[in-house]
Every structure is written in structure tokens, then in C-alpha cells.
Structure 1
Amino acid sequence: MTALLPDRDLATVPTVATKRRRRKADLGIRVLIVASSVLVAIGAAIPLIAVMATAFAPNALPRYAEFFTSQVDLTILRNTLVLGALVGLCGTALGFLFAFVQARLDVPGKKILHVIAMMPIVSPPFAVATATVVLYGRRGVISNGIFGIEYDIYGLDGLVFVLSMSLFPVAYLGLLGMLRGLDPALEEAAMNMGASRWKILRTLILPLIAPGLVAPFLLLFVEAIADLANPLVLGGDYTVLASRAYLAVTGEYDLTSASVYCVILLVPSLAMYFGQRWWLNRKVRTTITGKPSGSVHLMTGWGRWPIYGLAVFIAAIIVSLYGTVIVGSVTKVFGVDNTLTLEYLKEVVAGVGVEAVLDTLTFAAIATPIAGVVGLVIAWLVVRHLRRTAWLLDLGGTLGVAVPGTVLGIGFVLAYRPDRYIGDFEVFPSLVGGSALAAGAVSIVLAYVVRSIPAGQRTAIGALSQLHPYIEQASTDLGASPVQTFRFVTLPLIRPALLTGLSYSFARSMTSVSTIVLLVTPETKIITSQVLSAASTGRYGVAFAYCTVLTAIVLAGFGLIRLVVGAGASLHRTAKTERQKEQ
């Protein structure tokens, strides 16, 4: 016998079940929001507030008047801004050169050029500086040994060269993605109407990738003015705000002046960072609405060879720098006594340096999955579930890159060095200093996480923005919770974003120095601080050995992450040229 239920009974049963699922879903989302917010607050917001509170305390206000009336301090400020502007211009130009060769030229050896362009990402930020001193310094192997020139590499020109070579991969990756993302049908139409390659580049490609040119410039500007290690190694008399703030803490023990320097450094950093965000959101340049149509027609004329030759020349310089790092780690004094020796490598992997290697690897292994997952979660919450407060969580997640590392490190010292008590009860132990919790390891891992979150977050936001929400809605309509939908539907579709976030997090953690150098203790040794110490005292062989081991570890980490996570697929096709057809 079949029983017929009234319409309201049919509606009541699924409504109750739906409400229960929604309550569970809301609880899971709320837990993720609270957990992400707490991590961002502890790792970025509280240290930044501590810097601001110290910098605007009554006893610190006269320091601003001293700064803006002191010719020395104003020179430091000018040095910082000039350095940032020059590195932004040079680094963006190099990034565009390599991206254009990869995306638009029919030339051999593209894969090799790509690998060479990525080398600075997997090495410490001051490995190039140390090699530059050996090759192009006053007694450099090339400058003095070959050309007989005693060139003073210390100062602005050396810093611009080193930072441009170290940071241009940031511009290269962004511009390469934009060039490959342009709809080839637009270029085909222009070519069919008789436009030359150079006119297409000037009137079509450059306007479409304008955000890709401005954004890397602003990012490189921020990275350059916030860099600490290279000015300490190669700055000479050219002092910048980051190194001045560091010396105020370590040399003068003046946290008030250091906080004032940090606030002044924050102004151009945050202005450029938010200027970049504003520029990217200012115009919408959409050229792909689905699967791209048309095929990319690579340049085959004679005009490709000067461009290719310049890229190869830059690549040769990069190879010479990193080749110096490798060779210098197995020779007694590179360029002076080239006798082979394993003494430096033994010191790093089997001597006093093994503790720094193991500590750094352990901290990076802990921080990498946390940063990668948290970056994805924040992006998912911002794009899919938050409305009015989305900008606030998005801003908090990106503070790790918007705030200079030196500022963040000083903020950790101010916020977490003293124990916090309520009456006689300790409510929050010290995280920084000799008596810190876990000998300072907690603060180091926390700093690694906060500095690494933004890469995965920004990449995931871009990937989620291209993913239609109906796909996830279909999953929730079938009874899956939002968390289950994220795990089994969304996450597999944005796997390349997870790969990028994890890879960047691991590389950033292994090579970070500006934030970490203020947090290390005698019990927690970090490779980058050991390299900085060795380079500052002229022990270049030991510094090269640390850099070589560190680069090998990062490359192995990339391979392991790629093996576990997998890689994405390409949606574009490229028209075969005559040279490719012959092959």
C-alpha cells in the first residue's frame, strides 16, 4: 500500500535536514575563520601593533623631528627610495625579457633558460652578493684578474645589480603567466590585418599586460627596500633604512629608534603594496572567457636573435655567479688558491654546521604545510564565504609580504620577548630570546608561516576566481558540507595553487633572513644566519658551502612537493614553426 503525504510534510522533512547540515557547515566555517584570524593576529597583527605602539610612545615622538632635520637620516631615506626604484625597473625589465623569450620567440634552449631564471628562487638572497664580491670586487676574479680593474662593487651599483639578479624571477613568473594567458586570437587578428611584430608588441601586448608590468615593479620595490642581508654584505657606506633599523637593535640596543625607522620604512612599503592592489583592481583586462582560441605564432625572423642573445648573456652571468658558489665551496680560496678541498662542505654537513642544517630543515618542514594550507583556506573564505569582512581577512593574510621582514622581526622582539603575567600567573610565555619557549623555535616557525602565507593565498584567490561557484554549489546541493566540498571538489581543481604555495613556502622558509636573524638563539641555529656571519667575516668558502647545501635541499624539497601534490595541466596550444616541424 502506498501512503501519500501532504505537501507540507514533504517540505518539512528536507527542510529540517537542510537546517541541520547548514548549522554544521556554519560551525565548520566559523572554526576556520577563527583559526585563520588567530594565526594572522598572533603572527602579523600583534607584532605590527607592538612596533606602532613603541614608535608613537611619548618618548619616541622627538625622534621623528630629529630624523627629518638630520641630513644623515634624510640621506638614508633617499638611499632607500632610490634603491627600490632602480631595482624595480631593472628587475621588471629582466623579467619581461626572459618571459618574452619563453612565450613569443622560436629559439632553442628555452627549458635551460627557464631553469637558469629560476635559480635565484632556490638560493639564499645573499648568495649572489657573496659571489659578486669574489668575481667583481676590488680583487675580483673577473674584474681584477681578467680586466685588471679594481672596481669598487660596494654601494648602490652593486646592490642594484645583486638585487635585480636575485629578485627578477618574481617578475618573470608573473609576466610569463600573463603572456601565456593572452588570447592568441587577438594577435592572429592583428597579424592578418598586416601589423608587424613590433607594432603588435607596442599596441596590443604591452597594454594588455600593463598590470603585469606595474605589479612586479611595485613588488620588487617593496622587496628591495625591505632587504637586509644584501645591504649588510654589499652596502658599504650606502646605508638604507632596513640595515639602519637592524643596527639600532643589535649594535645600539635602541628599540625606540629602531621602531621609528620601521614606521618610516612602512610608509613606502605599504603605499607601494596597496598601490599595486589598487592598480590590479582598477581595470579588468579579460582576454580569455573559456578555452583560449587560436594558436600562438612564435617570432621566427632575424629580430629574435638580438633579444635571445641578450637573454643568453644575462643567463651566462647568472650561471657564473652560482657556479662561483658551487666551485667556491670545494676550493680553498677561489681565484687565489684553487686547490680542491672538501673541508668547507664537511664543516657544514658533518661538523659544526650540521645543527644549523637540521634545525632549518625541521622548522621549514613544520612551517611549509601550515602556510600552504592556511593560505588556501584564507583564499577560500575570502572568495566564497565572507562578504563584508573579506577584505579584512585578506589584508591580514597578506601582511607577511606587505610588512618588511625587518619590521616584522623587530615586532616579534617587542611583542613576545617578555613573559606576560596576570597577577602571579604566567599567561603567555616568552617566544623570543634565550629563555624563550622551545628556545625560540616557536617564534621562528611562526615567522616562517606568516611570511609564506601570502604567496599561496594570492595564487589560490586567482585560481578560485576562475572557478565557477556552481561547481561547488552542485556538491553542497547533493548534501556535502562546505568543508567536504573544499576538500574533495575545490582542492583538486586548484591543485596548481597548492603546489605554488607549498613550493614558495618551503623556499622562503629555508632562505629567509631579515625576520629570522633577530629571532635566533644559541640553541636554535639557522643556515641563513650562519651564511651571513661567515660572509661578514670574509669566510667565503664556508658561506659558499652553506649556500650549496641549502640550494640542494630546496631543490630536493621542490621535487618531493611536486611528487606528492602533482602538477597542473596546460590549456594552451602553440602553432608549430617550420623549425619545430623539421624536428
Structure 2
Amino acid sequence: MRERASGISRRLLTGDRLFRTGALGITALVLFIFVAFPIAAILREGLVLADGTWGLGNFIDYFRDPRFLTITGRSLLIAVSATVITVVLAYGFAYALVRTQIPLKNLWRFTALLPVFAPSLVQALGVQFLLGRNGLVSNLLGIRLDIYGFWGILISDIVYAFPHAVLIMVTALSVTDGRLYEAGRMLGASEFRLFRTITLPASRYGVMSAAFVVFTIVITDFGNAMVIGGDYSVLATEIYNQVSGQANFRLGAVIGIILLIPAALAMFVERLVARRNTALVNERSSPLVLRKSVPRDICALVYAVLVCALILLIVGIVVLASFVKLWPYDVSLTLKHYVTDVQNGYAPLWTSLWMSLIAAVLGTALVVLNAYMIEKISNPFTRVLYFLSVLPAAVPGMVLGLGYIMAFNDPANPIYWLYGTVWFLALNTIFHYHAQAFLIATTNIKQISSTFDEASAMLGATFLRTMARIALPLLLPSLLTIGLFLFMRAMVTLSAVIFLVSPRNTVAAVSVLLLDDSGKASQAAAFSVVIMAVVLAASAGFNLLLGIPLARRHAGASP
């Protein structure tokens, strides 16, 4: 009997080791194929010279051309300007949400997040409808504004990056120790001095993180610059022009590597800053009690209303333009723009839906498997896998998409059969946003106490059983969150897939760009509205599902 039990135990241990090895092998294989290989392909294309030797000659030729120097300078100017303005605006908005007693906070928060639900080029469309040559302002006031170029891109990028900065700032301002403020007030400090000496220093790491995130978003943005940039080329649009317009993959790779450098530096500095951040709250901390201040709250409410009004104006005018006959000359209502006369009609929308569902389901499974294996198996090899997991955060979407062309558009490649399919687009999207989803999963896995693993092991449970019966049920809300995140990003993604779409498989965001490029701005607006409606509906549905496991958990915990 003992021998039989011992044999079963050995088989279980052997199976457990096989599962760990296999799961870790899948994690490594997937990350090396879909992250390391495309980036290596970009680097190789940029560093290999025309005669087949390796060197920096391509970069030297690039920087010798005054035009390319100008383009690089423009990108940096827009990125720095948008970062400074966005961070200041977002800090004030987050402060109004967290540190004041203004009414309707959920409404202002939802309005601020509206740009997240739309493709990046929607902001440029809104600015174009509002301030362009045939915009509302030009026709009502008779003022001709030259919005195409620097100012148009800047305004669009600020609106596009604003919600990302707000989310970080809200988190930074929500964590504080109320005892510091009580001590300051007892010493006679004014509210402004409390802000200057406590609030601002305590939130500096949040400000830095927001600045790095906004800088990366802006310098790599393609959609807004493409729609409203005009002749004002930036690095992202130049990659597209070189690759799609002139099939100059080598120069595209050079520009991609140049674009990769500031994004990678921003991520590296952000991680360095995050490590130096110290805990602001401990077991002795007390929550901050907001004191009523009518002047402060009135100013905060006015500021929140103005910011939300600007966002609603830019997004709302896109919605309005989709329903009028001829913007802005004939504003009678019509649905004709929702009947697209472009090739394939609404087929790109169904392609985006299918791709987004694949990204949500497959991406969640891959991300959670990667995060769980890397977190639970600590060795030098998994540290390399961790680096590959967060590396996509430093890789602009267009650079990754270009890397996918160079890496997989080869009949000799074993997975060439996937190239050009919806599954290939979904995989590209998954690994474009892998870092953010991976960090969500890792954060939640770390919150599960190791005592569960220890108790499970003492009871003889295998690694797989512990994962299936303990970890995954506890991670269910996180799984739904990651699925929603990947679905939303896949529905609105543009830059990462712009090189990978084909006439047979075009996604909705690319169709919006093509419609606007062909002069059909109102149809582009209509298509954008449909995308936003789908994303908002999906968000509501996912949030409903997210509430179900939470409700069940609370019901199970109640006596």
C-alpha cells in the first residue's frame, strides 16, 4: 500500500515538474518569438549597411540630412511641450477630484476618460471640425486659423494623453497621511503652504511617472499627426511615409530605432524613479479628512467644468459632424454618413470586433500565465523573461509593427501562415500592450499571500492544482480587467497595425484614417462614433461581469 502511494506521489511530482517546465517553456517561447525577435529584426535592419556589413552608417546618413534633423526636432518639441502642459492640467484636475469636495466627481472623471474610448485620431478630427479651414470657429467668426501643423498636433496630443496622466495623478494624490496635514494646521500653516510643503513633494513621483508616460505617448503618436499634421512631418508619420510610400524599410528601421531611444529612456527613468519612491502610508497613518472650503471648491468645480467642456467639445463635435449633411454648411440631421460607400463597408468593424475578442481571451491567458510563472519561479532565466515582458512598454506601436513585417513576412518563417490573418493582428496587439497587462497581473498575483501556496503544498497539492483551485479564482476580477483593457485597446489601436493590415483584413481605426485621407471627414466621424459606441458598450458589459464575482465573493464572506 505504501509502495503504491509512493508511486502515485512520484508520478504527481513528475507531472508537476513537467507542467512547470512546459508552462515556463511556453512563456519563454512566446516572449522570444513575439517580442525579442521583431525588435531584433528592427535593430538588424537599421544596423546592416548596403554592402552587408554592420555599422552606424545608416544613422550617420540620416543625421547628415537637414530635413531629418528638422523632423526629429519637431517631434521632441511637440513631445516636451505636450508633456509639460498635459501634466500641469492633469494635476489640477486630479487635485479637484481627490482633494476637494466638488459635486458629481464620477461625471467629471468619466468625461475626462472619454478620449480613451476612441482611436487616437478622433482628437485630431475634433480639432479639425472645430478650428480647421472649414471648422465651426472659422465659419461662425470668419477667422481663418492655420491649425494644420504644430498647434493642431499639440492640442490633439494634449487631449489624447490627458486621461492617462489623470489616472496616474489621481492615484498619487489619493495616497497620503492625514497626520501631516493636522500637524501643519496646528503649527499655523496656510492651505497654500500645506500644498507646497506636503502635497506637492508627496506627489512628485506621480508627477514624474505621468510625465514619462505622456512623453512616450506623444512622441510615438501617429493618428493625430497624420490627420492634422499637414506638411509638418514628425518621426511617427515619417516612418509611415518611408515604409508605405517609398518601401524604404532600411530608413524606416533607422527612424524606428531613433523613435525607440526616447521611449526606452523614458521607461527606464520612470522605473528608476518608481524604485526610489518610498511608502507614504503605514500602519500608523490616518486618512485625510477633507475640510470644507467654499472658495477652493468653487475654483476646483469651475476648473473641472472647463476642462470637461473642452473634452466634450472636441469629442462631441465629431459626434455632431457624423449626423449633419454637409459640415458646417448644411447642419440638417441625416444618417447617410453611417452608410459607408468605401470598399468592404463595415467589414473592418467586424474584423476589429473579432480581433479584439481574440486579443481579450488569448491575451489574458498568455499574460496571466506569463505573470504567474515569472512571479512563482524566481531564477536568472525568469528575470530575463520579466525584462521581455515589460519591454513592449518602451517600444512604440509603429516600431513593433514594422518589426513584425521584417520578422514574419518571409515564407521561410515557420509561422508565416499566420501573417496577414486576424490572429496575427491580434497577436501584434496583445504584445503591443503586453507590458501594461502584465504589470496589472503581476501586481495582483503579489497581493495573494504566499501562505496559500505553503498550505497547499503541505496538503500535497501540485503546482497546477494550486494555480487552478486557489490563484485563478482569486485573480478572476483581474482577469476580467485585463480582458477589458486588451479588448478596448484592440478596438482603437492604429499605429501598431497600420503596416500589417491588408485589403482583406482592415481594422476599424485604419478605416477612419483612410476615410479622412480621402476627404470623407463626416464618414470618418461616423465610423469613429461607431467604434466609441462599441467600446463603451463593451466597457459597461465587462464592468457588469466584474461585479458578479465581487458580489459572489462578498456573499460568500458574509455570515
TM-score (norm 1): 0.87
- 1:87-236 equivalent positions in 2, closer than 5 A: 87-142=82-137, 144-236=138-230
**Structure 1: distance between partners of 2:37 and 2:300:** 48
Alpha-carbon contact 1:453-1:501 (below 8 Å) kept: no
Alpha-carbon contact 1:208-1:285 (below 8 Å) kept: no
**Structure 1: distance between partners of 2:8 and 2:180:** 51
**1:310 to 2:297 alignment:** no
SS where residue 420 of structure 1 aligns?
Answer: coil
Deviations 1:170-193 (A, max 9, x none): 111122123223344443444444
**1:79 to 2:74 alignment:** yes
| Distance change in 2, residues 1:32/1:134 (3 Å) | same
| Distance change in 2, residues 1:34/1:183 (3 Å) | farther
Deviations 1:306-331 (A, max 9, x none): 23212211100111112112111111
Name the amino acid aligned to 1:47.
P
Matched with 2:384 is 392
Structure 1 gaps of 5+ residues are 1-8, 422-426, 433-438, 571-583
**1:476 to 2:457 alignment:** yes
How far off its partner does 1:165 sit? 0.6
How far off its partner does 1:382 sit? 3.0
Name the amino acid aligned to 2:262.
P
**1:38 to 2:29 alignment:** yes
Deviations 1:487-540 (A, max 9, x none): 443344444533432222111100111111111111112111110011122211
**Structure 2: distance between partners of 1:289 and 1:16:** 49
| Distance change in 2, residues 1:362/1:40 (3 Å) | same
Greater CA deviation, 360-369 or 95-104? 95-104
**Structure 1: distance between partners of 2:431 and 2:483:** 13
Alpha-carbon contact 2:397-2:496 (below 8 Å) kept: yes
Deviations 1:368-423 (A, max 9, x none): 122223223333333332232343222212233310111111111111112007xx
Deviations 1:443-491 (A, max 9, x none): 2111111123222211222333444322433333333333333344334
**Structure 1: distance between partners of 2:474 and 2:40:** 37
**Structure 2: distance between partners of 1:459 and 1:498:** 9
Structure 2 gaps of 5+ residues are 552-559
Deviations 1:423-447 (A, max 9, x none): xxxx443544xxxxxx432321111
**1:520 to 2:501 alignment:** yes
Name the amino acid aligned to 1:452.
Y
SS where residue 325 of structure 2 aligns?
Answer: strand
Matched with 2:364 is 372
Aligned residues: 547
The correspondence for 2:49, drawn from 58, 67, 71, is: 58
Name the amino acid aligned to 2:217.
E
Matched with 2:416 is 429
How far off its partner does 1:156 sit? 1.8
The correspondence for 2:276, drawn from 273, 282, 289, is: 282
Alpha-carbon contact 2:115-2:163 (below 8 Å) kept: yes
How far off its partner does 1:221 sit? 0.9
The correspondence for 2:327, drawn from 324, 330, 334, is: 334
**Structure 1: distance between partners of 2:163 and 2:377:** 33
SS where residue 113 of structure 2 aligns?
Answer: helix
Matched with 1:580 is none
Identity within the alignment, %:
25
**Structure 2: distance between partners of 1:319 and 1:311:** 12
Name the amino acid aligned to 1:321.
I
Alpha-carbon contact 1:50-1:415 (below 8 Å) kept: yes
**What is the RMSD computed on CA atoms of the aligned residues?**
2.7
**Structure 2: distance between partners of 1:154 and 1:295:** 46
**Structure 1: distance between partners of 2:468 and 2:189:** 48
Deviations 1:42-87 (A, max 9, x none): 2221111111111111228432222222221111111111222122
The correspondence for 2:237, drawn from 218, 243, 252, is: 243
SS where residue 332 of structure 2 aligns?
Answer: strand
Alpha-carbon contact 1:174-1:212 (below 8 Å) kept: yes
Greater CA deviation, 494-503 or 521-530? 494-503
Matched with 1:538 is 519
Name the amino acid aligned to 2:39.
L
Alpha-carbon contact 1:499-1:566 (below 8 Å) kept: no
| Distance change in 2, residues 1:15/1:84 (3 Å) | farther
**Structure 2: distance between partners of 1:196 and 1:160:** 36
**Structure 1: distance between partners of 2:383 and 2:86:** 29
TM-score (norm 2): 0.91
**Structure 2: distance between partners of 1:296 and 1:556:** 36
Matched with 1:462 is 443
The correspondence for 2:485, drawn from 504, 511, 516, is: 504
